[in-house]
Amino acid sequence: MESVSAAPDPVDPAFPPGAPGISAAADRARERLHEEIERMRVGVEEMLAEQEGGDGELRRELEELRRETRRYVKRRVRKSERRIEKSVGKIDERTRELERRLDGVEQDRKYAEWRIHANTEAMLDGLLREIRAIADLLTRTR
């Protein structure tokens, strides 16, 4: 049984299978988020530096905000990645099922082709025998 060639990426047909598509967009979004967080962190640190030494409690609060932000970003990214992997998995399963069905149809087509050929050959052999029998009768009667 011959395998069917791979289908194009159903999520984004412009990308060949295996090319970065959704994950590249997620990486860009993640990078922008990290840049924004870093910009805010630098701004707060500059503000604290201007206060010369700053308040210890304010620094602790800032560090706690950093940790919470990191946890939040990791959790959201993991959740998004799981969601994407799940949808890609469903698409892959549907693709495999379609390939199995196509392989079955191809197998049926080959069998039907063979059957038609065999039946035609048998019919022509029968006709040839009948024509020869008629020819033999005609040659004997003369």
Q: Write the DSSP symbol of residue 14.
A: T
Q: What is the predicted pLDDT for the residue at 8?
A: 46
**pTM of this prediction?**
0.44
Domain boundaries, the chain: 22-141
Question: What does the alpha-carbon distance between residue 4 and residue 41 come to, in Å, rounded to a whole number?
Answer: 53
CB within 8 Å of 96: residues ≥ 6 apart = none
Question: What does the alpha-carbon distance between residue 12 and residue 20 come to, in Å, rounded to a whole number?
Answer: 10
3-state SS, residue 133: helix
Q: What is the predicted pLDDT for the residue at 59?
A: 73
Q: What is the predicted pLDDT for the residue at 93?
A: 95
List average pLDDT for each run of 10 residues in the chain, which is 142 residues long: 47 51 77 85 75 68 87 90 92 96 96 96 96 92 72
3-state SS, residue 51: coil
Q: What is the predicted pLDDT for the residue at 55?
A: 67
3-state SS, residue 131: helix
Long-range (24+ apart) CB contacts under 8 A made by 29-38 are 30/73, 30/77, 33/73, 34/73, 37/69, 37/73
Question: What does the alpha-carbon distance between residue 44 and residue 67 come to, in Å, rounded to a whole number?
Answer: 15
Closest among 107, 101, 37 to 74, alpha carbons compared: 37
